[in-house]
Structure 1
Amino acid sequence: MSHDLYGGDRESVAAGGCLSDPAWLVNADPRDVCAALDGAVGEEEMLAAAVYRASAHLHRNANTDSRRWLLALDAARYGNRDLAARFSAVNAHESLAARWGVEWVTGNCVDPRYRYTMTGHTDAVMAMATTEVDGRPIAVTGSADTTVRMWDLATGEMLGEPLVGHTQPVLAIATTEVDGHPIAITSSRGTTVRMWDLTTRQPIGKPLGGHTDAVHAVATAVVDDRPIAVTCSGYKDRTVGVWDLTTGQMLGKLLTSDTEWVVSIATTDLDGRPIAVTGSDDGTVRVWDLATRQTMGEPLTGHTDLVERVATAQLDGRPIAITGSDDRTARVWDLTAGKMLGEPLTGDGFQVKALKTAVIDGRPVAVIGSHREVGVWDLATGQSIGEHFARFGGAVETVVVDGSPAVLTSSYNGTVRLWDLVAGQVPGELLTGGTDWVSMDGRLIPFTGSHDGTVRDLMTGQAIGEFVTGDTGGVLSATSTQVHGRPVAVTSSHDGTVRVWDPTTDQMLGEPLTGHTDSIWALATADLDGRPVAVTGSHDATVRVWDLTTGQMLGEPLTGHTWLVWAVATSVVDGRPIAVTSSDDMTVRKWDLATGQMLAVAHLPGLDSARALATAVVDGRPVAVTASTDGTVRIWDLAADQLVGEPFASHPHLTRTMAVAALDGRPTAFIGSEEGIVSMWDLTTRKQIGPELVFPEPVLAVTAANGKLIVRFGPEVAVLCQRIELDPRHGAGA
């Protein structure tokens, strides 16, 4: 990376020992710290640099309390609890934030290749391209938020204001030079193509019109010494336009057939002639002479489904194309011979959703975004290289920064990450494995279909066993109870089943419980006439009650909701077991579990459903606590069937999860959000307890067990302990 990221001297800073000083990392200006990271020498400084990078995008705007907390959390992700404790001790006497300590955290996504995250877009990033401006590498990104943004890849900072003009999601971006000026060509779900001067960050001329459907792919080339763009339009239009970027005029269209839909495009040179390589919905790949706009040779065949991605490279001095198809293969083609090279690239869950090429140590590689991960493939051998990058959800782009190959990956949450393509060493021992759990007998029992089933000791995080649940389609919810006096775990799944298993033998008990016709998002347990039961809420809009002793459904499905049921909780009111459910139909409903009758229904105002729901006892009365998607919290008296007091706002973020537990003997709601925030609220006073805890990923689940706070953020699990008592009289940020 650049030696003058923020105007500082990173080597001299690192040489002064600052990187090994937790107090400096907590209190120093993040710009100064980032300037020093690449100058780290020795194991201790390299670990500190990796820890700081893990959440550097949050450090920029964080106060010292949040920065200390994040550094402790990330040190634990790297498996160094001693360093985590040293961070927690910095200025600990000055803030309530230090009153939560980090016991242990998984490191499922810790990767030494990770550099930083760029934030700013407010929706999925769907397109990226790179170029140089004033000698500095930059990225240009386009999003479903309709904006185009520019980023300095040396610093990770956004350059200027967003480029606005598109009114639909931006689908494609390419870069080139016109009259010596770097420009970007962007297209959107609308029918127009726009050009931008990347030096002035201003639009160039009027939008390029000519297509009658969304323009979903753009590539650039030089034909007869003039820069051109090639654009592919949607299914209704089915045309490929060629544009003179100097004049902004369409030169013509590639002569495709009336039935062919060109989905993807890339450009290169073949025998000194500029060509385009296109992939179509019929599974064929075609090569085009861009000067004549005619096809060259016969179509390249082999794919059996739509060719969604195309990229080009050089292999042993010969131009090649790499194509990715919905047939779950990627293929490499010799463009001179018009033949496929080697066997198709495949793998478990292989799906080519994004495709670019790069060069590592002189060898061409393909960078393929597939099923939430990004992999690197050696194009000479057809073999996968190294571990996959774990964060992906949109587009990939390759770039060279300070002479080293790197890759950008985008996500559906609007973030873009930069990674080194050359593998590094992880400076620590990581805990990896399952990330959905129930807590039982001092153990964390995880339930995640895509992970290894590791069972961990709640106190230490160490592996003490493993299991296989047998669930198909991925586990959505898990809880625990007792059957015949023995602890059991209960899970619900995407496949609409409920399963019960014995954690002492790692075996499923009986057959799956079937009846729901869609995914089961909500799960709770209760005691009904001395029998343990499970209560489930499904995407099929029904609620069902199951006898866990016999494995049978009790009575008929509970109906009334008109959309998917997000959450369920149970309680006892006047000696009778009840269930409370919330749904995307904007209602909260109360049910008598003995009779199956709906006892009450509350309609939420507006369009914000209650995605999080829990029950508790406040001032001696049973209540339900709901948290809506807009962050509004409501407390409902379950005996009187009415709202208790006025709603209050926990935070202005999308609420994902909530748990209620006693904290210092007082009923407390722990609320987690999409923005990675956990806030704590005293349900008696309705006041926030201490400052918010910030996490580097969305908070997906939170619970309190065995005196611990357990938080799932993104693919990680953190177990926290209360260091000292919190005074509920303190407000946020006290």
Structure 2
Amino acid sequence: MSAESRDRRSIARAIMSVASTVQWENTSAYLKRHGAEHAYEGELLDELVLQEDFLLHANAENLLPMLWHVRGARSQLAATAYRTSATAHASAGDLRDRHEILRRDQIRVKMERPSVSEPDQLWNPRWVLGQGITSSLAGTLTGHTRRIEDIAFGLLDRRPVALTASWDQTGRIWDLATGDQLGPSLTGHTDQLTAVKFGHLRGIPIALTASLDGTARVWDLQTSRQIRVLSGHVGAVHSIAFGDIEGAPIAVTGGWDQTVRVWDLIADRESRVLRGHTGTVRGVAFGTVDRVPVALSAAWDGTLRVWNLLDGSQTNEFDGRNGLLNTVAFGKVDGTALAVTGGMNGPVLVWNLQEGTATDLLGEPVAPGAFTGLGGGNVVSVALGYLGDAPAVIIADDTNTATVWNLQARRRENVLTGHTNYVTAVALGNSGGQSIALTGSVDQSARIWDLTGDGRPRRETSGHSGPVESIALGLLRDRPVALTIAREPNALMWDLHSGTRIGPPLTGHAKDLTAVAFGRLHDGPAAVTTARDGTARVWDLNSWKQIGTLAGYTGTVNAVAFTRFGDRPVAAIVSGAGTASYWDLTVQAPARGGPSSARAFAPLSAARTDLCGVGRASDTGDSRPGAGDASDGSGSSDGNVGDDLRRLVTAVAFDRRGRNPIAVSAMNDGQVHTWSLRGETISGTFLDQTGPLSALALGTIGEEPVAIGAGSGGVALVWSLASRSRRGSPIRGHTDEVTAVALGAVDGKPIAVTGSRDETIRVWDLTYPEHALIRTILLPAPCRAVAVSAEGAIVAAAGDEVLMYDHTGR
């Protein structure tokens, strides 16, 4: 080691020694800003990143570029956790919020010993289950103020760069080595940007952008200046591609006017208009087939078309296989010209452009009119590239993740998780010899992913593979447990203390589950699940076996509650038609005539039958004071998310009068009713707010049975079931719809927990009528479900993750 290197290491060691003595909170502003740079120069960066609370207090602007240089496994996890919420750290917001976020994210990346101290607050994260954060996350690019709609890879002065296009009407250039924005933003469009691509014009690196303002524009990336405006489309321009015809650079655009247009970038003029589509052209790509330059266009008429750019003729038209196409990418594998398409309600298809055949991602042929769910859903972006030497495709399909497929091995290689909202744009490239992926999202960030190595997922995932919809808490052999369901046919059970899986999945439904409830049969703990297959199923949790099917419904079964009526276990089931029925689980027959009977929950049967419920209720199976139900009605059972006329939540609780169970139902019209299990109406409407309810839960305050409900206005209300009147003031504070509520007790005080689309949970003290806010918990995604255990732990669903917050008693 040279003398200079020794000096640098000595300086770095001195900095770390000072910080460990006085703690990073009390160090100078200079050390917080430049400590990482000195540690890097002294080859002690990995050690510094793991020093307690350094990441919490370091200056984000200087720290983020340094995190590219950490090498140790644990320090890379710490860097990944920091990058995940880089926007929050870079904003220099409330230190308490950043402390909570950083601790939570280190638990999300599975750091066994977080390098951030535990915050001094009432509830702290203990474990997180689910897809979490892929440890191959290498960087986060922040700066846009609205969603990123497209992303592209390029080279600028031999440096790998990313180009982003956003709804904030700007494009931006990013250095992939440092994560810094290069130069000023690309400004000039007068509406949202829809697409961006990289190219060259007379030796100058350029960006091409498309916009809803009806134009495409060309930018000099060395100066960030606009050098061309391509006007000609009628209405929005949705897609753009760069290519060349016999060495002459061109742009290809597609738009709302159902045309594909070709632009001569040297002459700065429109050279061809390609007509034939009968729907909006959403995606275009450039390539060569048999040495002929071609344009590919994917449109909402469900077709992929191939155009000869030498003469403007359409050379092929392919059926998109049941989908309105959103996106297309071009590439070559072993000399064969390929296209990959994706769209709404159809599969991702790989097209051999020379043979005119289509296969799915596994390589299986897909005939016209056929449907495969593989890679289906609403695919919004695809890109072709390489994983090492293997051709690959990356897919964004209206989830918080992107998926990488190896087209040579025909297998899924990686699921990139970490965005906190839908991924809208993807690209593949190479940086410093490493295969990388780029993603853009509604969360206003772009992310960089290191795909080197064998390409397999860097972290073994556990839990659900889709958004978690409902949570039920209970006891299994005196062990607190949680049952969770997602948009898949399985329910999973977890140890509430450790977060470890218990037993096998509850598998048997033919379609996605919609609700789960926990309770007891005569011989032990049991669960009831409902699903889109038109059934509810009963499970013995001692043997993990299905012991009964409650069938006879048409379409989706939306909600379930579990209780006891005398010595009989009873389930209340709500169908998508708005009807409800009781089932006596000792005989597996409808307790009041079955789902088709007018006597089975007759007031609900009389509701409008065209209104399908989407709320979900899950009972804790615990009648002790303070043990509350949790329900979540944030999604649509038939896919019509946000349709306020399709909401219904049902729950069951014990009335204090003689401990006879009553059912409480929240209707799509905003009404709340209570019913006895004998079928009589106890009360009519007692809700004093308008609009539909999206969440409902039951519990007690002292000996008084109460209900809490919430809806789209961001307000929750508490009602007394005894007096059928509102109890206390409205619960306000959320900035978006309240989608989940629960009731419980902590240290003898009744509490309400509300979860919202605003990505927070809020805890409220119900002791006094003012309903004081106790704690705000920050989530990584909008809340979909929440529950409170008998010990006061809070379990929440956010995206495809389940988070457990332990009550610390501070």
- How far the C-alpha of 1:331 sits from its partner, in A, is 2.6
1:350 aligned onto 2:350: no
Contact 1:57 1:116 in 2 (8 A): no
For structure 2, which runs of at least 5 residues remain unmatched after alignment? 1-32, 364-371, 593-598, 612-644
Shift of 1:266: 0.9
Checking the alignment, whether the CA contact within 8 Å between 1:229 and 1:244 is kept in structure 2 is yes
After superposition, what is the alpha-carbon deviation per residue over 1:492-513, rounded to whole angstroms, capped at 9, x for unaligned? 2223422211111111122234
Q: What is the aligned partner in structure 1 of residue 369 from structure 2?
A: none
**Cα distance, 1:263 vs structure 2:** 6.0
1:321 matched to 2:316: no
1:546 is matched with 583
Name the CA distance, whole Å, in 2 between partners of 1:315 and 1:505: 50
Query: What SS class does the counterpart of residue 78 from structure 2 fall into?
Result: helix
1:106 alignment partner in structure 2: 129
Deviation at 1:449, TM superposition (A): 5.9
Indicate the SS of the match to 1:692: strand
- Are 1:239 and 2:262 an aligned pair? no
CA contact (8 A) 2:471 2:787 kept: no
Partner of 2:22: none
Q: Rate the CA distance shift 1:163–1:633 in 2: closer, same or farther, 3 A.
A: farther
More displaced stretch, 48-57 vs 364-373: 364-373
The match for 2:329 among 301, 305, 311 is 311
> For the structure 1 residues 261 and 37, does the alpha-carbon distance in structure 2 shift closer, same or farther, using more than 3 Å as the test?
closer
What is the SS of the residue equivalent to 1:38? helix
Q: Give deviations 1:546-600, integer Å, cap 9, x for gaps.
A: 3333331523341447533343333326455433333443444444443353723
C-alpha separation between the residues in 2 aligned to 1:666 and 1:88? 28
Aligned CA distance change for structure 1 residues 451 and 654 (closer, same or farther; 3 Å): same
**How much has 1:670 moved relative to structure 2?**
1.5
Amino acid at match of 1:60: A
User: Bigger CA drift: 407-416 or 642-651?
Assistant: 407-416
- Contact residue 351 and residue 371 of structure 1 kept, 8 A: no
State how 1:591-606 maps to structure 2 within 5 Å.
591-597=675-681, 599-602=683-686, 605=689
Aligned-partner SS, 1:472:
coil
8 Å contact from structure 2 (residues 744, 790) kept in 1: no
Deviation at 1:376, TM superposition (A): 3.1
Distance in 2 separating the partners of 1:598 and 1:218: 63
- Within a 5 Å distance, the mapping from 1:6-85 to structure 2 comes to 9=37, 11-12=40-41, 15-16=44-45, 17-61=47-91, 62-81=93-112, 83-84=113-114
> Cα–Cα, structure 1 residues 642 and 245, in superposed 2: closer, same or farther, change >3 Å?
farther
Q: Which residue of 2 aligns with 1:709?
A: 794
**Structure 1 residue 638: Cα displacement:** 2.5
Give % identity: 24
| Structure 1: gaps of 5 or more residues | 1-5, 726-734
State the SS of the aligned residue for 1:447: strand
Q: Is the 8 A contact 2:536 2:557 kept in 1?
A: no
SS in structure 2 opposite 1:601? coil
What is the deviation of 1:718? Answer: 2.5
Task: Name the residue aligned to 2:355.
Answer: 339
Q: Which residue in 1 is equivalent to 2:151?
A: 128
Structure 2 CA distance, aligned partners of 1:451 and 1:58? 36
3-state DSSP class of the match of 1:219? strand
Describe the SS at the equivalent of 1:36.
helix
- Could you say if the C-alpha distance between residues 331 and 101 of structure 1 is closer, same or farther in structure 2, counting changes exceeding 3 Å? closer
Displacement after TM superposition at 1:119 (Å): 6.4
Q: Give the secondary-structure state (helix, strand or coil) at the position aligned to 1:112.
A: coil
Contact 1:564 1:585 in 2 (8 A): no
2:287 equivalent among 268, 272, 278: 268
Is the Cα–Cα contact under 8 Å of residues 728 and 771 in structure 2 kept in the other structure?
no
Note the 1:195-594 alignment, pairs <5 A: 195=217, 197=219, 208-211=231-234, 215-223=237-245, 227-234=249-256, 237-244=257-264, 249-254=269-274, 256-257=275-276, 264-269=283-288, 274-279=293-298, 286-295=305-314, 299=316, 304=321, 309-316=327-334, 318=335, 320-324=337-341, 328=347, 330-333=349-352, 338-339=354-355, 345-346=361-362, 349-351=373-375, 353=379, 354-369=381-396, 372=399, 374-379=402-407, 381-384=408-411, 386-390=413-417, 393-401=423-431, 404-411=434-441, 416-423=446-453, 431-432=462-463, 437-441=471-475, 442=479, 443-448=481-486, 450=488, 455-484=493-522, 486-515=524-553, 517-520=555-558, 522-549=559-586, 550-552=588-590, 554=592, 555-557=599-601, 558=604, 559-560=606-607, 563-571=645-653, 572=655, 574-575=657-658, 577-594=661-678
**What SS does structure 1 have at the residue aligned with 2:600?**
coil
- Aligned pair in 2 of structure 1 residues 546, 125: CA closer, same or farther (>3 Å)? farther
How far apart, CA to CA, are the structure 1 residues paired with 2:125 and 2:734?
A: 23
Once residues 258 and 75 of structure 1 are traced to their aligned partners in structure 2, the CA distance between those partners, rounded to angstroms, is 49
Contact 1:469-1:501 at 8 Å conserved across structures: no
Normalising by structure 2, report the TM-score: 0.74
Once residues 37 and 124 of structure 1 are traced to their aligned partners in structure 2, the CA distance between those partners, rounded to angstroms, is: 25
Q: Cα distance 1:171–1:556, how it changes in 2: closer, same or farther (>3 A)?
A: farther
2:507 is paired with a residue whose SS is coil
Pick aligned residue for 2:208 from 163, 166, 184: 184
Give yes or no for the alignment of 1:696 onto 2:780. Answer: yes
Q: Is contact 1:131-1:182 (8 Å) kept?
A: no
**Is the 1:449–1:471 contact (alpha carbons within 8 Å) kept by the matching residues of 2?**
no
Distance 2:728 2:141 in 1: 41
Separation of aligned partners in 2, 1:460 and 1:653: 32
Q: Which amino acid aligns with 1:275?
A: V
Partners of 1:611 and 1:627 within 8 A in 2: yes
- Corresponding residue pairs, total: 694
Is 1:679 the counterpart of 2:762 in the alignment? yes
Distance 2:387 2:458 in 1: 23
Using the TM superposition, name which of 593-602 and 120-129 deviates more: 120-129
Q: 1:626 to 1:345 in 2, by over 3 A?
A: closer
What are the residue-to-residue correspondences of 1:147-162 with 2, within 5 Å? 147-148=169-170, 150=172, 152=174, 154=176
Q: 1:203 to 1:613 in 2, by over 3 A?
A: farther
Q: Distance in 2 between matches of 1:362 and 1:592?
A: 67
Give the Cα separation in 2 of the matches to 1:153 and 1:594.
Answer: 69
Does the 8 Å contact 2:572/2:581 carry over to 1? yes
**What is the aligned partner in structure 2 of residue 729 from structure 1?**
none
CA distance in 1, matches of 2:483, 2:143: 36
Aligned alpha-carbon RMSD (Å): 4.0
**8 Å CA contact retained: 1:614, 1:659:** yes
TM-score (norm 1): 0.81
* TM-superposed deviation, 1:165: 5.5
Deviation at residue 244 of structure 1 after TM alignment:
4.2
* 3-state SS, counterpart of residue 710 of structure 1: strand
Bigger shift: residues 416-425 or 468-477: 416-425
Question: C-alpha displacement at 1:267, in angstroms?
Answer: 0.5
